Amino acid sequence: MDVTLRPESNSIDGKQRLTWRNPDSVPVKELQFHMYLNAFKNKETTFMKESGGVHRGASATVKDPWGSIQISSMKMVNPMDDFRPEIPLGSNSAEDLVDRITFIQPDDGNLADETVFSIQLPREVAPGETIALEILFESRLPEIVARTGWKTADTGNPFYFVGQWFPKIAVLEVPGQRYIPEDAEKGVWNAHQFHVNSEFYADFGKYDVTMRVPESYVVGASGVQMETSTENGMKAVRFEADDVHDFAWTASPDYLEFNQQWRHVNVRALIQPAHKGQAQRHLDAAITALEKYDAWVGEYPYTSLTVVDAIGGSNGMEYPTLITAGTNYGLPTWSRFLELVIIHEFGHQYFYGLLASNEFEEAWLDEGMNSYIESRIMDETYGPGAAISLGPFKLGDIELQRLSYAKQRPSSGALVTNSWEHVGGDYGKSTYSKPATVMNTLERYWGWDMQQRFLKAYYERWRFKHPTTRDLQSIAEEVSGTDLEWFFSQFVYGTAVVDYSVDSILITDKEDDQFVSRVRVHREQDGVFPTTLRLRFDDGTTEDVLWDGAERWKDFRREGTHKIVEAYLDPDFNNLLDVNRLNNRKVAASESDNSFARLAQRRAIMIYQTLFYVLSGLF
Amino acid sequence: MSLYYIKSGFESAKARPTLTVIMYVSNLIMGILLSIPVLAAFSKATAESGYANDLSQGFDITLWADILENSPSFLPTLIAQLFWVLPVLFVWKMASSAGLIHAQMKEIEDQDGAPDQDGTPDESEAGAAGADERSQRLARNRNTTRRFWVGLGSNALKSTALGFLYLVPTVIAILIVSVIGLVLAQVAVGEVGTFWVQAVFLPLALFMCVAFIDMMHDFGRVELVAGRKGIMDSWFAGLKWPFHSGNANSIYIGWMVLGIVFLFIPFMLDLSSGGLFIAFVFQQLFLAARAFITVGWLGSEVKLVEDTLE
Ligand SMILES: [Zn+2]
C-alpha cells in the first residue's frame, strides 16, 4: 500500500495492491471484504445501534465525528507486475470492478450496515492460483470512539491512530479448516460485520506499506521500519510486516520515542509528553511480558514491538507487533493497571497475532487465554497486590479475574458464544475473566508442568494458523492423555457453576471414649469438580479424602477416640471456579472462634473515632 | 506570644483531666455503637467458618467478597448509620464545645452558684500536702465537670444556632472555591492541568477554606460563651477574628497540626497492624491525647479571647 494522511480532512487516501491465493480445491469467483470504517458512517450502522455511540466509556465530542471508507476503483492486475503507486489506476484498461461491490449483512441483516461487501470477479480463480487486485480507496477517519481515528491532543496537536482502515479481505475457510467439514464441497467465506462486542479475524500475509505524513510527525506501525524520505514537508515512511494478519499505524507530532533492545527484539515506546516519566514503566512491562511468554509459551518470532501510549479510546488494543497501552498523569506506582494493560496487549501477539483465532466467534481463545497468562505474569512478577497494592489492601490479578467471574452472575454466558450475541455485560465476563479463571483452575488441576506442556504444544502446533476451541481441547487431551470432555463441556461450552460447601459436623458419643463424627458436604450448584476434603481431628492430625464431587449431598463418617473438629473442602484453593470459598470450611461448635469479628470491630471503632474527629473539625 | 497561649491551653487542659475524659469517652462510645453491626455481621459469617485466623492475618479479598455477599445488608447498614450519626455529631460538637469553653473560662462572677475552686493550676498546688492535695484535686475535678455540664446546658442551643449560622460562610466559601476551580479548569486544560486542579488545588483549597471558617467558628463560640455576646454578635465577632489577630491564626494552626499528627499516627498503626489488641491500646492512647488536644485547643482560644476582652 502507498497512502497519504491528510490532516486537514482527517482522511487517508491511497492505493492498495492485494495479492490473494485461492486456498480452496475448487475455483472461486466471489471475494468478501471488510470495510470496518463504515461502522462509523452514521447512526444506523450495526456498531452504532449496538453501542449507542459509546465504546468502553468513550464517545464523540465534535459535531461531525463520522468516519467511512470508500473504494473509487478496483481492478484485476497481473500479479507479476511491479506495484507502481504513482501510476494512476485509470491508465489500466482492465474492467473496473467497483460497480460489482454489494454490501452484505451476514450477522443481522441490517441493510444500513456497510462493513462487509461481496464481489463477483469477472472470472474464476483456479485452485492455488494467485491473483492481484489494485484498489484505490479513501478512508475518512472518525473521531476516536472505538480504537481508531483522530483526536486533538492536549498539546493542541493532531493525533492519529489508524486501525481497521483499509479494504481488508476476509478469510475463505476451506474444507477441514476450523469448523468446515472435511467433506464439504467447497470453502465458505467467514466475514462478520463490525460489532460493539467483537474484534477481528483475518488471514496471514505480508504487508508492505508506505505512509506519507507531515514531516514533523512520528510514525509507529506494525512490522519493521524500512526507509524514510522527505519531500515538500511530507515524510514517507515505509514499514514491512511479515506473517501478520493486520496492519495498523499511528502518527502524531507529540510522540516521544524510547527504545530498548531485548534479545532479537527492538522494543520501541511512543509516549505522550505528559507521560514522559512513565516511559520506563512501559518498556519494563513489555520486556517482562516478552520474557515470560518466551519461557512459558514459545519464542516471539518478530524483531520489533512498538508500545504506543495513545489517546483515549484508542488505548488498550492489540495489532501485530504494535500495541496501545494507556496511562494517566500522576499514576501512582501502587496501581499497576498500566503494566497490566501492556502485559495483556502484548499477550495478544500470541493469542490473536500468532494463534489467530476467530475473534467474532470464539473471542475467548484470544482474550481469555491471554487474560489467563496476563494474570499469571502479573501475580508472579509483582507478587501479592500485583494489580493494586495500597497499604493492607492488596489485589492480585488472578483474584481480580476470579471475582469478576464469580460475583457477576456466574451461571450466564458460556465461553464459546458469538461475541455479538452476548447479553447483559456477559461479553467481558465470559471472554476475559471467566476463561482466565477456567484456565487458572485447569493449571491447578493438573499442575503447572502439564499446563506448560499444553501451552507450548498449542503454540507449536497452531501458530500462524486459526485454532478453534476444538483444536485447543484436543491438544490438551493429547498432551495429558486424558479425556477432558467433563471439563470443557461444563466450563467452556457450558455454564456450570461450582459451589461446594461443608454443611455440618455432627459428633455423637459412644461408650469407652469413642466418638462418631459425621461431616456432611453439599454440592450447591450444577458444576461437578473433584475436590479434596481435609478433616482435622481434635488431636491435631489431619486426613485428606478425595471426593469426585458428583453427589448432591455426601456424609463422611469417622469413628474413634478423636473427634473431627474441622472439615475443609479444597484446602489449597485449587478450584478457583468455586464461587463461594467461605462455605468450603467449617469448624465444630467447640472450636467456634470469634476473634476475627472482634478484631474487625476494634478496627471499626478506631476508624469511626478518627472519622468523628475529622468530621468534628469540619464544623 | 502565640506559644504562650498554646502553653496556657495545654496547662488548662492538664489541670482539667475530666474534660479530656469526657471528650475521649463520648467519642469512644459513638465508635463502639457504630461498630456493633460490624461485630454482628462478622460473627455470623466467620465464627464457625474456620477462617477467623486467616482473616485476622491480612486482607483476603476472596473471603471478604463472600462475607459481603452473605450479609447483603452490611454495607447499607454502615451507610445508613451515618444519617443519624452526622446530626448527632454536629449537635454534640456544638454543645460540648460550649461546655469546654465554659469549664475553662475565668469565672467573672459566680453566676453558677459555686465558689471558684478550679482556679489556676499553679496557685492551687502551692504548699498543699498529701491527702489534702488529693481531696482538693477531687473537688476541683468535680467542679470542672459541673462547670462543663452547666456551660453545655445553658449554651447548647445558642451554640447550635451559631453553628448553623456558620454554615452560611462555609457554603459561600465552597462556592467560591468551586468557581475558582471552574475558572482554573478552563485555563489549565488537558490531563496535566486537570490533575493539578482536581487532585491538588481543589482538595487543598477546600481544606484551607474549611479550616479558616472553622477558626472563625471557634472564636465566635468563645465570644458567645465566654464573651457572653448574643448569637449574631458572636457570629460577626467570630468572622473578624482571623483578620485582626495573628495570634488567633497561629494558635489555630499550631493546634491543628498537633491534632492532625495525633490522628495520623493511630491511622498508620491501623494500616500496619490494625485490630491487634496491643495496637488498639496504643491507638486509644493517641486518641485520648487527641481528646486532650481538643480541650487544650479551646483552652488557648478562650485565654486569647479573654485577654483581648480585658
Ligand atoms: Zn485483549
Give the angle subtended at the CA of B216 by the CAs of B210 and B220, to the nearest 5°: 140
A188-190/A171-173 β-pairing: antiparallel
Q: Which residues contact A61 (CB under 8 A, 6 or more apart)?
A: A143
Claim to verify: residue A199 and residue A145 sit in the same structural domain: yes
Provide, rounded to the nearest whole percent, the portion of chain A with pLDDT above 90.
84
How confident is residue B129, by pLDDT bands cut at 50, 70 and 90?
low
The residues that bridge with A173 in the sheet, in sequence order, are A188
Among the listed residues A312, A318, A108, the one whose alpha carbon sits nearest the alpha carbon of residue A194 = A108
Amino acid in the structure at residue B151:
G
Claim to verify: residue A469 and residue A508 sit in the same structural domain: no
A212-267 pLDDT per residue, tens: 999 999 999 999 999 999 999 999 999 999 999 999 999 999 999 999 999 999 99
Claim to verify: residue A398 and residue A417 sit in the same structural domain: yes
The chain-wide mean pLDDT, for chain A, equals: 94
| Residue B121 pLDDT exceeds 60 | no
Structure confidence at residue A97 (pLDDT): 94
A294-327 pLDDT per residue, tens: 999 999 999 999 999 999 889 999 999 999 999 9
| SS3 of A400-437 | HHHHHHHCCCCCCCCCCCCHHHCCCCHHHHHHHHHHHH
Residue A572 at interface with chain B, using a CB cutoff of 8 Å:
no
For B72, which DSSP code?
T
| Residue A452 pLDDT exceeds 60 | yes
| Residue B125 pLDDT exceeds 50 | no
Residue B295 at interface with chain A, using a CB cutoff of 8 Å:
no
Give the mean model confidence (pLDDT) for residues B97-110: 82
Residue A62 at interface with chain B, using a CB cutoff of 8 Å:
no
Task: Say whether B56 and A596 touch across the interface (CB within 8 A).
Answer: yes
Claim to verify: residue A477 and residue A581 sit in the same structural domain: no
| Residue A142 pLDDT exceeds 70 | yes
Q: Beta-strand (E) ranges in A148-253?
A: 149-152, 158-162, 168-169, 171-173, 188-190, 205-214, 218-221, 224-231, 234-244, 249-252
Give the mean model confidence (pLDDT) for residues A561-567: 95
Claim to verify: residue A510 and residue A586 sit in the same structural domain: yes
Q: Which of A1-10, B9-18, B124-133, B280-289 has the lowest mean pLDDT?
A: B124-133
d(CA A479, CA A481): 6
Q: For residue A158, give how far its alpha carbon lies from the nearest alpha carbon of chain B (Å).
A: 14
How confident is residue A609, by pLDDT bands cut at 50, 70 and 90?
very high
Q: How far is CA A33 from CA A122, A170, A202, A416, in A?
A: 16, 5, 10, 25
Claim to verify: residue A453 and residue A592 sit in the same structural domain: no
How confident is residue B108, by pLDDT bands cut at 50, 70 and 90?
low
The C-alpha cell at A12 is 487517508
Which of A142, A169, A203 is a domain's end point? A203
Claim to verify: residue A186 and residue A66 sit in the same structural domain: yes
Residue A583 at interface with chain B, using a CB cutoff of 8 Å:
yes
Any idea which residue has 451515618 for its cell? B82
Give the mean model confidence (pLDDT) for residues A392-417: 93
| Residue B71 pLDDT exceeds 90 | no
Among the listed residues A439, A15, A36, A459, the one whose alpha carbon sits nearest the alpha carbon of residue A210 = A15
**Which chain A residue has its CA at the smallest distance from B92's CA?**
A616
Q: For residue B142, give how far its alpha carbon lies from the nearest alpha carbon of chain A (Å).
A: 26
Task: Say whether A407 and B69 touch across the interface (CB within 8 A).
Answer: yes
Among the listed residues A325, A344, A329, A406, the one whose alpha carbon sits nearest the alpha carbon of residue A161 = A325
Claim to verify: residue A478 and residue A509 sit in the same structural domain: no
Residue A181 included in any domain = yes
Q: How far is the CA of A346 from the centre of ligand 1 (A)?
A: 9
Give the mean model confidence (pLDDT) for residues B259-281: 88
Residue A212 included in any domain = no
Find the CATH number of the domain harbouring A369.
Answer: 1.10.390.10
| Phi, psi (degrees; rounded to nearest 5) at B185 | -65, -30
Q: Residue A528 is part of which domain span?
A: 500-618
Which of A491, A515, A546 is a domain's end point? A491
Give the mean model confidence (pLDDT) for residues A494-508: 96
Provide, rounded to the nearest whole percent, the portion of chain A with pLDDT above 70.
100
Find the CATH number of the domain harbouring A152.
Answer: 2.60.40
Structure confidence at residue A63 (pLDDT): 80
**Which chain A residue has its CA at the smallest distance from B290's CA?**
A613
The neighbour count for residue A242, using CB atoms within 10 Å, is 16
Give the mean model confidence (pLDDT) for residues A131-154: 93
d(CA A62, CA B182): 22
Q: Which residues contact A265 (CB under 8 A, 6 or more apart)?
A: A290, A300, A302, A303, A304, A305
Q: For residue A351, give how far its alpha carbon lies from the nearest alpha carbon of chain B (Å).
A: 28
Among the listed residues A168, A183, A252, A169, the one whose alpha carbon sits nearest the alpha carbon of residue A218 = A252
Q: For residue B102, give how far its alpha carbon lies from the nearest alpha carbon of chain A (Å).
A: 19
| SS3 of A24-37 | CCCCEEEEEEECHH
Q: How far is CA B200 from CA A47, A83, B171, B206, B209, in A?
A: 39, 57, 20, 10, 14
- Domain total of chain A: 3
How confident is residue A420, by pLDDT bands cut at 50, 70 and 90?
confident
Which of A491, A525, A549 is a domain's end point? A491
Burial A505-537, CB ≥16 within 10 A → b, else e: beeeeeeeeebebebbbbbbbebbbebebbbbb
The chain-wide mean pLDDT, for chain B, equals: 88
Residue A451 included in any domain = yes
A323-366 pLDDT per residue, tens: 999 999 999 999 999 999 999 999 999 999 999 999 889 999 99
B29-53 pLDDT per residue, tens: 999 999 999 999 899 888 899 998 8
d(CA A373, CA A242): 25
Determine the number of helices (DSSP H) and then strands (DSSP E) in chain B: 12, 0
Structure confidence at residue B123 (pLDDT): 43
| Residue B118 pLDDT exceeds 60 | no
Structure confidence at residue A198 (pLDDT): 77
**Which chain A residue has its CA at the smallest distance from B54's CA?**
A596
Q: How far is the CA of A357 from the centre of ligand 1 (A)?
A: 13
Amino acid in the structure at residue A180:
I
Determine the number of helices (DSSP H) and then strands (DSSP E) in chain A: 11, 31
Claim to verify: residue A157 and residue A190 sit in the same structural domain: yes
Residue A528 included in any domain = yes
| Residue B115 pLDDT exceeds 80 | no
Q: For residue A605, give how far its alpha carbon lies from the nearest alpha carbon of chain B (Å).
A: 5
Task: Say whether B65 and A407 touch across the interface (CB within 8 A).
Answer: yes
**Residue B266 with chain A: CB contacts under 8 Å:** 606, 610
Amino acid in the structure at residue B197:
V
Q: How far is CA A342 from CA A18, A418, A466, in A?
A: 32, 26, 24
Task: Say whether A606 and B166 touch across the interface (CB within 8 A).
Answer: no
Best A504, A605, A607, A614 residue to mutate vs chain B (most B CBs within 10 Å): A605
Q: Which of A593, A603, A613 lies closest to B270 in CB terms?
A: A603
Q: Which of A44-53, A236-245, A574-583 has the lowest mean pLDDT?
A: A44-53
Q: How far is the CA of A348 from the centre of ligand 1 (A)?
A: 7
- The H-assigned helical ranges of A12-170 are 46-51
**Residue B58 with chain A: CB contacts under 8 Å:** 392, 394
Q: Which of A585, A591, A600 lies closest to B275 in CB terms?
A: A600
Residue A594 included in any domain = yes
The residues that bridge with A211 in the sheet, in sequence order, are A3, A237
Is residue A293 within 8 A of residue A346, CB to CB? The reply is yes
| Residue B124 pLDDT exceeds 70 | no
Q: Which of A14-18, A585-589, B267-271 has the lowest mean pLDDT?
A: B267-271
A159-182 pLDDT per residue, tens: 999 999 999 999 999 999 999 999
Please give the full DSSP string across A262-315, using - where no structure is assigned. ETTEEEEEEE-GGGGGGHHHHHHHHHHHHHHHHHHT-----SEEEEE---GGG-
Residue A228 included in any domain = no
Q: How far is CA A474 from CA A361, A415, A483, in A?
A: 19, 17, 9
Give the mean model confidence (pLDDT) for residues A431-439: 97
d(CA A523, CA A129): 59
Task: Say whether B61 and A399 touch across the interface (CB within 8 A).
Answer: yes
Structure confidence at residue B130 (pLDDT): 64
Among the listed residues B209, B196, B87, B102, the one whose alpha carbon sits nearest the alpha carbon of residue B149 = B102
Q: Which of B50, B51, B195 lies closest to A329 in CB terms?
A: B195
Claim to verify: residue A517 and residue A482 sit in the same structural domain: no
Residue A392 at interface with chain B, using a CB cutoff of 8 Å:
yes
Looking at per-residue confidence, does B131 or A157 come out higher?
Answer: A157
d(CA A319, CA A245): 9
Residue A313 included in any domain = no
Q: To 10 degrees, what angle do helices B202-225 and B277-309 make?
A: 60
Claim to verify: residue A464 and residue A517 sit in the same structural domain: no
Give the mean model confidence (pLDDT) for residues A428-456: 97
Claim to verify: residue A430 and residue A462 sit in the same structural domain: yes
**Residue B27 with chain A: CB contacts under 8 Å:** 609, 612-613
Residue A74 included in any domain = yes
